[in-house]
Structure formats: structure tokens, C-alpha cells
Amino acid sequence: MNKWGVNIENVTFNKIMIATDGSVCSRLAANRGIELARLSGGTVYAVYVVSTEYFSSMAVDFEWERMSEELKREGCKALDYVKGIGELENVNVKSILLEGHPASELIRYAEEEKMDVIVMGTLGRTGIDRLLLGSVAVNVVRHSKVPVMVVRKNKP
């Protein structure tokens, strides 16, 4: 029993979703999620969403295809990072590459696949993207039915 009166002995983390965008904060979150999986014996589902929201109004042409392929390569690198640290810790990691609006896709996937927890960083893409689109982490925390563990970058 913890200090809030919740019996944490019955909490299981068999399916741990780590949302990644390849940023420093998402790498910190991945490290925490892998540790959680190692301690609980759970499986990690590393999820990267190729954002299509920037390109929804563009005509499909060669440039979009090239941009899409580059975003997928970036996603695969982010997923490989999570898989790599999972291997070092003997944690089973499954890589998932999705396309769409990041917050919506993360929530949809977590709920459909019945994840026990979503682990993600608070800062990923920043600047004008964050001002225009809002924080993915904030949207996931506000709208997900699955518990969300948010990992913050330590201040220097």
C-alpha cells in the first residue's frame, strides 16, 4: 500500500508503450520505460508516429513521397534506439511505425492494444510546431484512458 492508499502490488505492467519521436526527452522516457519493463517482466511496444498533419493539404507528388520516406527513416532510427536499449536490458521490444496525427494515433493504438501504461517525454518537437499544434504529451495525458507516465528532462 502506498501513501495514497493504493495497493500497488496488484498493478501490472505487462504491456508498456513507449512513445518516441527520437528527441532527447523521448530517449529519457525510453530509458525509464525499459527499466519499468525490466522490473515488471513486461513487453515494450515502441511506437513512432509519422505525422501527416503537415502534409494533409498538399497534393501527393514526388516531394511528398520523398518527405514521407525521410520521416519513416527518422522513425525507424528512433525505434531502433528503443530496441537497442531493450536488448541491453534483456527486454522484449516490438517496434510499431504508424502514420497520422501523433496524439490521436498514440491514444488509439494504446487503447486498441490494451496497453497498461504509456511512457513518453514532455518535450519533443518544440518552437513553432508546439505553438501551432500543441504538445503531443499534453494531448495524450488529457485524452487517454490508458495511464500515462511523463518523463521530464532534468534541468541543468
Domain residue spans of the chain:
12-151
Higher-pLDDT residue of 59 and 118 is 118
Higher-pLDDT residue of 154 and 150 is 150
What pLDDT is stored for residue 132 in this prediction?
Answer: 43
Calpha distance 4→1 (Å, rounded): 8
Indicate if the pLDDT at residue 123 is higher than 60. Answer: yes
Q: What is the pLDDT of residues 8-46, one digit of tens each?
A: 566 679 999 999 999 888 999 999 999 999 999 999 999
Calpha distance 2→123 (Å, rounded): 29
What pLDDT is stored for residue 99 in this prediction?
Answer: 94
Give the distance from CA 149 to its chain's centroid. Answer: 10
What pLDDT is stored for residue 7 in this prediction?
Answer: 55
Q: What is the per-residue burial (b if ≥16 Cβ within 10 Å, else e) of 23-57? A: bebbbbbbbbbbebbeebebbbbbbbbbbbeeeee
What pLDDT is stored for residue 152 in this prediction?
Answer: 80
Q: Mean pLDDT for the chain?
A: 84
Calpha distance 13→59 (Å, rounded): 43
Task: Extract the C-alpha cell encoding 74.
Answer: 527518422
Q: Are 37 and 14 a contacting pair, CB within 8 Å?
A: no
Indicate if the pLDDT at residue 82 is higher than 90. Answer: yes
What pLDDT is stored for residue 73 in this prediction?
Answer: 94
* pTM summary value: 0.83
Higher-pLDDT residue of 60 and 66 is 66
Task: Extract the C-alpha cell encoding 16.
Answer: 508498456
Domain covering 12-151, topology: Rossmann fold (3.40.50)
Task: Extract the C-alpha cell encoding 92.
Answer: 522484449
Q: Reduced to 3 states, what is the DSSP secondary structure of residue 15?
A: strand
Q: Which of 4-8, 29-33, 120-124, 139-143 has the lowest mean pLDDT?
A: 4-8
Calpha distance 156→25 (Å, rounded): 14
